[in-house]
Chains A and B, each alone.
Chain A
Amino acid sequence: MKFLKIDMASATVSSTEVPQDYVGLGGRGLTSLMINSEVPAKCDPLGPENKLIIAPGYLSGTALVNSSRLSIGAKSPLTGGIKESNVGGTVAADLAHLGITAIIVEGQASAGTCFLLKIDANGNGELLDGAAYKGMRTYELVKKLKEAHGEKNSITCIGPAGEFLLTAASIQTTDADGRPCRAAGRGGLGAVMGSKGLKAVIVAKGGKAAAPLSDADTFKESAKIYAKAVRDDAGTPALSELGSAVLVAPINAVGAFPTRNARQGQFEDVEKITGETMAEIIKKRGGKNEHMGCAQCVIRCSNEYVDADGNYVTSSLEYETIWSMGGMLGNSDLDSIARLDFLCDDIGLDTISTGVAIAVAMDAGYKAFGDARAAIEMVEEVAKGTEFGKIIGNGPGAVGAHFNHERVPVIKNQSMAAYDPRAIQGMAVTYATTPMGGDHTAGWVVAENLEEFGGTLDRFSAEGQVEASRKSQIHMAAVDTIGMCDFAQSGFGAGLSNVCKMIAAKSGKPFSEEDWTALGTRILKAERQFNRNAGFTNKDDRLPRMFYEEPLPPHNKVVVISDEEMDKTFDF
């Protein structure tokens, strides 16, 4: 197993054995520990001292289901702190199959130059001139790169937004069908990639050099148990048929669906954009539900959305995008939401940050809520590189500053996601305290907060929320280290010990449940340390005033987690 080091200034690639300190790590564990150790916390995120680290999970490349998750780490130009951005598709499995533990992109190409990184079937890397691809949108880019390099590659790339160094720029990667529709969206890492002069990474599929497993038989047995737990889970069929959009109706029902820049918690037209409605439309028009977007997936939560004539619009239309371009904008037109999803993938923008940026513009009176055409025009302006397009592409914080508008739902300058913290207090803790900024997957405590049937916490009370968020954040840091898909966490239903067995069976070293918690804790400590060194204090672990002062209809609550309690989240 090896590291590929890419020196952009000299345009050279070298390969080293994985240093002892990083053996046994992958994904977010690897990227966060490396960024904390090797990147000066006060550096310019768009300068030569930042590093872009691309790492498959520790269990990526094995036969374990749903294990093709990639972590991309760097100092974020959006938050000014550490960032791990996570994405599926096939590239994590592809890299692991080539025996590559991480790609470390360092330095900066000379001004005006643009490169492609090609990794061939032997796992050797080479920088190629990318001038011909400068400025290309991702769908066109992928088409051209396939013509030049063949079909049997995954492509991980930036669009114009990353080349313009915009802080809501994503890194896109190809799904199982070869479309650049999977996004490492959060944190502006597309801008970091752009600042280094790297346009795309082409990775050969079908490698046979995955790390050997220390105990292949034990691994196989545990992997089977894990896969069965995912397949048998009551949630899997719903995810399969309706996608992550299955969340629209229930989150709206509990009044936690931020609507019109989080002025309300319920959208009166939600029925037009639920997962149920989307699935029916897709079925009727001949699109695809139960689509496999990522390697080795047994859930198939992806979809292919088509227009009224049956033509492809986008894949996969997710809960977060239906929220950010739908409810958050007061927009109930699913066709325009799908179009906005495609535009963001094509231009290389985070759909969450971009939707919220548009929401702030609408809230400031720039355009009316519900004006889908205006939303589409704003996103197209980003690609055109206009002054206002750059503001939108820099996210909601930039839009708020431009209009001098107070209601900007960002934490550490990264926008909130599709759960209002006033209606689910546990999410207030996660948004405020995760080192990642406004991030929902970092510590998703939504289910535990629905007391009515099943959850143990009162979602309007502070009680138990800090503990729940802390536990979830620690757990997720470890999940992100092994490269497991969030939706396949149902596999943990067969026991954490079963997962620990797989880690031990690969590494050849003992790995207990205590080690799992210690791993997550270690990662969070490193991330917190980086942020402190970058200048963050506990004042940055707070939500914007609107969440403490504006009661959210229909339940009319505010965030009730005190500053003191927030500060107890990382009491380790």
Chain B
Amino acid sequence: MKVKVRLYGTLGKKFPDHDPLNGFEVEIPQDATVGDLLERLDIAKSKIGIVSVQGRLAKAGKTLKQGDFIRIFRPIFGG
């Protein structure tokens, strides 16, 4: 199934077809979870701050649906 993924901060840089403002589409198996998606995208765990699905924060075990919009943010620090 296809989901839309938007990577924030500099997470998207290693994907040539990732549009920094619109993200990209990713093909994942039916019933894949957020954790599966992150593995598929091979983003190191330490680089992930928070993940939201359809605008709500999600944990690794959340199952994804066709057409879900997932945003992935890096860890944050700052002021």
Size of the A side of the interface (Cβ < 8 Å), in residues, is 37
- Is A246 positioned at the interface, with any CB of B under 8 Å from its CB? yes
User: Given A253-B50, A450-B49, A452-B59, does the pair A247, B78 have CB atoms closer than 8 Å?
Assistant: yes
A148 CB-CB contact with B under 8 Å? no
A401 in the interface (beta carbon within 8 A): no
Residues A478-493 near B (CB distance < 8 A)? 486-487, 489-490
Measured between alpha carbons, how far is A251 from B9 in the docked complex, in Å?
Answer: 13
Partner of B76, one of A274, A441, A450: A450
Which residues of chain A are near B58, meaning CB under 8 Å? 452
Task: Judge whether A440 and B77 touch: CB under 8 Å.
Answer: no
Which residue of chain B has its CB nearest to the CB of A86?
Answer: B79
How many whole Å from A155's CB to the nearest CB in chain B? 24
Chain A residues within 8 Å of B47, by CB: 234
Knowing A276-B8, A452-B51, the reply to whether A486 touches B76 (Cβ < 8 A) is: no
> Which residue numbers of B lie inside 8 Å of A, CB to CB?
8-10, 20-21, 45-52, 55, 57-60, 71, 73-79
For the complex with contacts A244-B78, A253-B57, 14 further pairs of A-B residues with Cβ separation under 8 Å are: A235-B77, A237-B10, A238-B9, A239-B78, A246-B78, A247-B76, A249-B73, A250-B73, A253-B50, A253-B71, A320-B79, A444-B79, A452-B51, A453-B48
A/B interface sample: 11 pairs, CB < 8 A: A238-B9, A246-B76, A253-B50, A254-B50, A276-B8, A277-B21, A320-B79, A450-B76, A452-B51, A453-B49, A487-B77
Query: B78 and A452: CB pair below 8 A?
Result: no
Flag whether A142 is at the interface (Cβ < 8 A). Answer: no
B20 touches A276 (CB 8 A): yes
Chain B interface secondary structure, helix, strand, loop or mixed?
Answer: loop
CA distance A257 to B57 in the complex (A): 15
Query: CB-nearest residue of chain A relative to B73?
Result: A250
A280 CA to B19 CA, complexed, in Å: 11
A238–B49 alpha-carbon span in the complex (Å): 12
Taken together as a complex, chains A and B put the C-alpha atoms of A490 and B75 apart, in Å, by: 12
A234 contacts B76, CB within 8 Å? no
Q: Please, how many angstroms separate the alpha-carbon atoms of A274 and B71 in the complex?
A: 13
Least Cβ distance of A250 to chain B in Å?
Answer: 4
Render A214-256 as a binary contact track against B, CB cut-off 8 A, 1 for contact. Answer: 0000000000000000000011011101101011011101100
CB-CB < 8 A to B50: which residues of A? 250, 253-254, 450, 452-453
User: Top 4 closest A-B pairs, CB basis?
Assistant: A238-B9, A250-B73, A441-B79, A238-B10
Q: How far is the CB of B38 from chain A (nearest CB, A)?
A: 9
Taking the nearest CB of chain A, how far is it from the CB of B5, in angstroms?
Answer: 14
Q: How far is the CB of A256 from chain B (nearest CB, A)?
A: 11
Cβ–Cβ contact B21 & A487, under 8 A: no
A244 touches B79 (CB 8 A): yes
Contact B78 A486 (CB under 8 A): yes
Q: Are B46 and A446 in contact (CB under 8 A)?
A: no
Contacting residue for A447 out of B51, B57, B71, B75, CB 8 A: B75
Given known pairs A253-B55, A253-B57, the reply for A486 and B75 (CB within 8 Å) is no
- Structural contact, B77 and A489, CB atoms closer than 8 A: yes
- Which of B45, B59, B76, B79 is the one whose CB lies under 8 Å from A250? B76
Chain A residues whose CB sits within 8 angstroms of the CB of B20 once the complex forms: 276, 279-280
Alpha-carbon distance A237/B52, docked complex (angstroms)? 22
Q: A235-B74, A250-B73, A253-B50 are in contact. Are A452 and B57 (CB under 8 A)?
A: yes
Q: Is the CB of B21 within 8 A of A238?
A: no
Contact mask for chain A residues 486-506; partner B; CB cutoff 8 A; 1 contact, 0 none: 110110000000000000000
Shortest distance between the CB of A238 and any CB in chain B (Å): 4
A250 x B49 contact (CB < 8 A)? yes
A150 at the interface (CB under 8 A from B): no
A510 contacts partner chain B, Cβ-Cβ < 8 Å: no
CA distance A276 to B73 in the complex (A): 12
Asked if residues A235 and B55 are in contact (CB atoms below 8 Å), the reply is no
The interface residues of chain A lying within 8 Å CB-to-CB of B74 are 234-235, 238, 246, 250
Q: Are B48 and A250 in touch, CB under 8 angstroms?
A: no
CA distance A291 to B41 in the complex (A): 30
Determine the distance from Cα of A319 to Cα of B76 in the docked complex, in whole angstroms. 12
Contact of A246 with B49 at beta-carbon distance under 8 Å, contacts A254-B57, A487-B79 already known:
no
The residue on B at minimum CB distance from A454 is B75
Q: Could you say which of B9, B45, B55 has the most chain A C-beta atoms within 10 Å of its C-beta?
A: B9
